[in-house]
Structure 1
Amino acid sequence: MPSSSRTLSRGGPMQPPGSRRILRTQTAVNLGEPIFDSEVVPSSLVDIAPILRVANEIEASNPRVAYLCRFYAFEKAHRLDPTSSGRGVRQFKTALLQRLERENEPTLAGRAQKSDAREIQTFYQLYYKKYIQALQNASDQLDRAQLTKAYQTANVLFEVLKAVTQQHSVEVDHEILETADKVKEKTKIYLPFNILPLDPDSGNQAVMKFPEIQAAAVALRNTRGLPWPKSYEHKTDNVSNQREHLILLLANVNIRRNPKDDQQSKLDDNALHEVMKKLFKNYKKWCKYLHRKSSLWLPTIQQEVQQRKLLYMGLYLLIWGEAANLRFMPECICYIYHHMAFEMYGMLVGNVGAFTGEYVKPAYGGEKEAFLKKVVTPIYLTIAKEAERSKREKGNHSEWRNYDDLNEYFWY
């Protein structure tokens, strides 16, 4: 299909949210010691990566505050894995402790304030006034990316600041507390993004001014009449990735269908239908082969049809985004989607269980990472078990089961 010059695409396959990097060490030319890369930590200590990133970032500006960040990261690492049982944790802790012991006295000698608590409070105020405030009025994407990073850095600095001041029994200045509240709110808004900044303050970004982008984004923001869970909490990561993914799919088709229309105020229904048809092509074939009715049930009220179609597509992309290696089993994905789409329909129309009298809920529950733990992982473990058995045992190829064989199960 020919593409418009304004067609947007994602920069490559998305990394599954559950994937983690493990510890790598590089040998420094002069010191012959591990370099602490904030993005390369043991999987069980992944929560300290942002702290180490901030330490590396501010090292040149204030070595003592960088030291305090690494010290806090070490303490947090010990709380996360006190027995050092995780892969690479013991080596990582040992190397970090050695660095802290070596850098304590030199950084202490260069400290400007009388105490570590005052040092980090002074630096926090300076960082906000001299760096964040200077970026707040920036309008282009480059400055926006810098501002996003700056807010995240300030958020981490305040986390370390609280720990240091508590340890030294020093009160935090009222001005700093007010600044921290501002930073916390902005951190919720200014999140990392791939192509589209979708937060409320993104309207002045050039990419968000394309009519086809605006039309798709407005359509996805329509939550009118949807039943919200009592414990609803805004989530990021894969949800944000797939929201952006769907907007780009819709915008690309929209602009190809209407290349001369620069005043698109709403999403073209034909473009929406085209994207949905392509996305569910395999699912429709799967239903037909199994003589099952599709779970894509649309409402009779025309105004709600577009919203329902977007919900069905969003659900499919979220399942695909969290499916990890199950993406190699397309019919398995169809099976999972078929049942979850039916459950979503029950939630939308407010159906109640015949025996419980409660509203329909997902079969796998709603706790954190429940889909990964209760749906994806059990299927993947079965695949892994079969793969391991095929390595150990010798026999006819017909006795082994691989992805294709297990995927064929979902044809029946």
Structure 2
Amino acid sequence: MSSSRERPDQPPPPQRRIQRTQTAGNLGESIFNSEVVPSSLVEIAPILRVANEVESSNPRVAYLCRFYAFEKAHRLDPTSSGRGVRQFKTALLQRLERENDPTLMGRVKKSDAREMQSFYQHYYKKYIQALQNTADKADRAQLTKAYQTANVLFEVLKAVNMTQAMEVDREILEAQDKVAEKTQILVPYNILPLDPDSANQAIMRYPEIQAAVVALRNTRGLPWPKEYNKKKDEDILDWLQAMFGFQKDNVANQREHLILLLANVHIRQFPKPDQQPKLDDRALTEVMKKLFKNYKKWCKYLGRKSSLWLPTIQQEVQQRKLLYMGLYLLIWGEAANLRFMPECLCYIYHHMAFELYGMLAGNVSPMTGENVKPAYGGEDEDFLKKVVTPIYNVIAKEAERSKRGRSKHSQWRNYDDLNEYFWSVDCFRLGWPMRADADFFCSPHEQVSYDRTGDHKPTSRDRWVGKVNFVEIRSFWHVFRSFDRMWSFFILCLQAMIIIAWNGSGDPSSIFSGDVFKKVLSVFITAAILKLGQSLLDVILSWKAQWSMSFHVKLRYILKVVSAAAWVVILPVTYAYTWENPPGFAQTIKSWFGNNSKSPSLFILAVVIYLSPNMLAGVLFLFPFIRRFLESSNYRIVMLMMWWSQPRLYVGRGMHESSFSLFK
């Protein structure tokens, strides 16, 4: 049974359990047998299902259920404006008219109210009490279905009694109170039935499941709110819900998630742990390591200490680890679309884990004298309303600005652009709780406003974060920029082949003759010119990102252009002095700088220096583990070395193939 219990009326759009419905296209009786109802009348589907279920034993009760469903359908859509509603109601009314007299003749009691009461008592004794008396053998799904049917029958019973002005018997009311109480316990679940009445279910008897459940229910020492009404079998996730304001159904989903994660790792441990309901510390450590792998990398990348602080008392370490993991899963489970922004979740978790540490340390508010609460409030569903919703609204506005991808790339931000904001320490300017007037939440206005003097008045466009690292400019020059090594190789090979073909015999072996070889060496001058063009192209195609670029990135682009321009001068000059009787352009260069100097080896030295970065890149290509270490390193000297070759980004570092893959 699949279930997702988040509220459907709060952004971001949560996942709902979808009931299978369809517009009633056939006016025959099959629409009731298959319980296919219009999408706007899904609430009456359980009533029709119960009518079909009890029709064989009591046709009059089935008729009353369908009659109540018709009344409820008319209340839900009085004008029959929904798709397929008019046809559905017409078919249902025709069936009611056809079945009224036959079912009335077969009625046992004198009135419909007494007939409903009698059948309800019969159903309660025959099904519910019988299943309860054999609870150790009963299937939980059958018991849950019986409670749901009893609730529908009682709803119809009340409507019939109200129509006939008859009170419901006390015995039936007491029975329904028990049914309602059990219905709240036997809530829908995904995999694990965690209610007290389901401890005998087969899946709940596995030692690893029991060990995870027992560990989660260790709430010793946790400071519960004073007004909180603590219930039986409360666990760590219930405490997190009470303190941070998570949704009830999100807590239920992540409870199953965490228990199954721990149980799956627990059962794979070697040597096998004791077959006792005690969680293995190795399993707990392994799950925590996987969950917080990205968060710890993020903290190290930004130079911040993580908020994962463990106590010195060994008995409290397991509880603290479960609290940290439970908090992360609850944030992830309720984040919805924010899951596409993992570093944004790291930012949220970083602050909430710090607040969790303050709560566990016993910090008390000086104003109220109670334990500290989260900075955003911590009331019911506050996390969704005050943390997730503001960020989701930014995503929604940017999606509207994209105009389904027709807007220019520089005018709107996608998930990656928004997430890149959290790759820098600048994200901490958001504060906690996040300031509504922060740059991240500002959106640009298309029109520029002016004050009364006619001067430009700053608007939120001046504070819009925009793209952080990359802004696309749609141009065919991207073909060269993206495949620059291929194009450079083709151009240089063409130049070398033309020189060989036009000098001497045209035989490829003639390249080893002195004059031809000197002329072939001019390909390095062409390579420097192509490198200058590539550097200028990088600046042009990144121009729209200049306002959001950091100073170090801008300096890198400028120095690359200056360096490329310098080599365009140095290589031709040194090349000119390799000739005693220089041809053409080389003679012109020597006339500029003087004809007396003769330094043939100076060009070779310049070429070696020019190629040294390529030589280093070739070595790193053969030893990719060295490059992965350099790219992922957080040492200042390594960051300075890598700064020249590529911009420092959080995602994409150290993703090179292994040596074995390259060898294959």
Q: Are 1:263 and 2:275 matched, yes or no?
A: yes
1:205 aligns with 2:201: yes
Does residue 120 (structure 1) correspond to residue 116 (structure 2)? The answer is yes
Q: How does 1:36-185 map to 2 (within 5 A)?
A: 37=35, 41-42=39-40, 50-51=46-47, 53-69=49-65, 72=68, 90-91=82-83, 94=86, 97-109=89-101, 110-111=103-104, 112=107, 113-136=109-132, 137=134, 139=136, 143-185=139-181
Contact 2:22 2:39 in 1 (8 A): yes
Aligned to 2:326: 314
Cα 1:169–1:100 shift into 2, 3 Å: farther
How far does residue 71 in structure 1 lie from its aligned partner after superposition?
5.1
Query: Partner letter of residue 349 of structure 2?
Result: Y
Contact 1:250 1:272 in 2 (8 A): yes
Which whole-Å deviations, capped at 9, do the CAs of 1:319-378 have from their partners, x for residues lacking one? 211222221111122222222223333333442335565532234445544333333233
CA contact (8 A) 2:2 2:189 kept: no
The residue aligned with 1:7 is: none
| Whole-angstrom distance in 1 between the partners of 2:98 and 2:162 | 24
Q: Summarize the Cα distance change of 1:189–1:383 in structure 2 as closer, same or farther, 3 Å threshold.
A: same
Matched to 1:291, the amino acid is: G
Q: Would the aligned equivalents of 2:23 and 2:36 in 1 still touch at CA under 8 Å?
A: no
Distance 1:77 1:353, change over 3 A: farther
Which of 243, 247, 251 is the matching residue for 2:255?
243
Pick which of 325-334 and 223-232 moved more. Answer: 223-232
| Residues 1:361 and 2:373 are matched in the alignment | yes
Distance 1:372 1:52 in 2: 35
1:323 to 1:56, Cα distance in 2 relative to 1, 3 A: farther
Instruction: Name the aligned partner's letter for residue 345 of structure 1.
Output: Y
CA 1:180–1:371 in structure 2 vs 1: closer, same or farther (change >3 Å)? same
Q: Take 2:376 and 2:72, find their aligned partners in 1: how far apart are those partners?
A: 32
Task: State TM-score, norm by structure 1.
Answer: 0.81
* Residue 192 (structure 1) shift: 2.5
* Deviation readout 1:4-60 (Å, 9 max, x if unpaired): xxxxxxx99968663344863143384697988579744xx7666544544454455
Q: Could you list the per-position Cα deviations for residues 240-274 of structure 1 after superposition, in whole angstroms to 9, with x for gaps in the alignment?
A: 22111111111111111146445233111121111
Q: Partner of 2:510 in structure 1?
A: none
Indicate how the Cα distance of structure 1 residues 368 and 169 shifts in structure 2: closer, same or farther if over 3 A, else same.
Answer: farther
Distance (whole Å) between structure 2 residues aligned to residue 255 and residue 302 of structure 1 = 23
What displacement does 1:188 show?
2.5
Shift of 1:387: 1.7
Q: CA deviation at 1:225?
A: 2.4
- Distance across 1 between alignment mates of 2:380 and 2:42: 17
What is the alpha-carbon distance in structure 2 between the residues aligned to residue 70 and residue 199 of structure 1? 33
Query: Alpha-carbon deviation of 1:78?
Result: 7.1
- Specify which structure has the bigger relative contact order, considering alpha-carbon pairs within 8 angstroms and separated by 6 or more residues: 1
Return closer, same or farther for 1:263/1:231 CA change in 2, 3 Å cut-off: closer
Give the match for residue 370 of structure 1.
Answer: 382
**1:237 and 1:67 mapped to 2: Cα distance?**
35
Whether the aligned pair in 2 keeps the contact of 1:332 and 1:410 (CA below 8 Å) is: yes
TM-fit CA distance, 1:160: 3.2
2:15 paired with 1:19:
yes
Tell me by how many angstroms 1:317 deviates.
1.3
Q: Is the 8 A contact 1:25 1:34 kept in 2?
A: no
For residue 341 of structure 1, what is the aligned residue in structure 2? 353
Rounded to whole Å, the distance in 2 between the matches of 1:371 and 1:74 is 40
Contact in 2 for aligned 1:36/1:52 (Cα 8 Å): no
- Among 240, 258, 266, the residue aligned to 1:254: 266
Residue correspondence of structure 1 range 289-308 to structure 2 within 5 A:
289-308=301-320
Equivalent-residue separation in structure 2 for 1:376 and 1:252 (angstroms): 30
Q: By how many angstroms is 1:63 displaced?
A: 4.7
Unaligned runs of 5+ in 1: 1-10
Aligned to 1:408: 420
Within a 5 Å distance, the mapping from 1:380-399 to structure 2 comes to: 380-391=392-403, 394-399=406-411
**Aligned mate of 2:214, from 208, 212, 218:** 218
- AA aligned to 2:145 is K
Check conservation: 1:253, 1:271, Cα contact below 8 A.
yes
TM-score when scaled to structure 2?
Answer: 0.53
Of 164-173 and 57-66, more deviation after overlay is shown by: 57-66
Q: In the alignment, is the contact (CA less than 8 A) between 1:26 and 1:35 conserved in 2?
A: no
**Maintained 8 Å contact 2:401/2:407:** no
Which moves more between the two structures, 395-404 or 215-224?
A: 395-404
Compute the displacement of 1:198 (Å): 1.4
Distance in 2 of aligned mates of 1:46 and 1:237: 21
Mapped partners of 1:259, 1:184: distance in 2: 46
When residues 12 and 200 of structure 1 are mapped into structure 2, their CA distance, relative to the original with a 3 A threshold, is closer
Q: Report Cα offsets for 1:73-123 as digits up to 9, x if no partner.
A: 5666777x6898xxx974466455435533433443304233332222222
Moved more, 316-325 or 251-260: 251-260
Structure 1 residue 220: Cα displacement: 0.9
Q: CA deviation at 1:383?
A: 1.3
Deviation for aligned residue 1:406: 1.0
The 1-side partners of 2:221 and 2:81 are apart by: 48
Instruction: Give the distance between the partners of 1:396 and 1:33, measured in 2 at CA.
Output: 50
**SS at structure 2 position matched to 1:237:** helix
* Distance change (3 Å), C-alpha of 1:186 and 1:19: same
Q: More deviation in 305-314 or 394-403?
A: 394-403
Bigger CA drift: 69-78 or 277-286? 69-78
User: Does the CA contact (< 8 Å) of 1:38 and 1:53 recur in 2?
Assistant: no
Structure-2 separation of matches of 1:192 and 1:71: 28
Residue-by-residue CA offset, 1:109-165 (whole Å, 9 max, x unaligned)? 304233332222222112222222333315468x22111221122123223323332
Match of 1:6 in 2: none
Kindly provide the amino acid, as one letter, of the partner of residue 27 in structure 1. Answer: G
Deviation at 1:217, TM superposition (A): 0.9
Moved more, 255-264 or 124-133: 255-264
- CA drift of 1:298 comes to 2.6
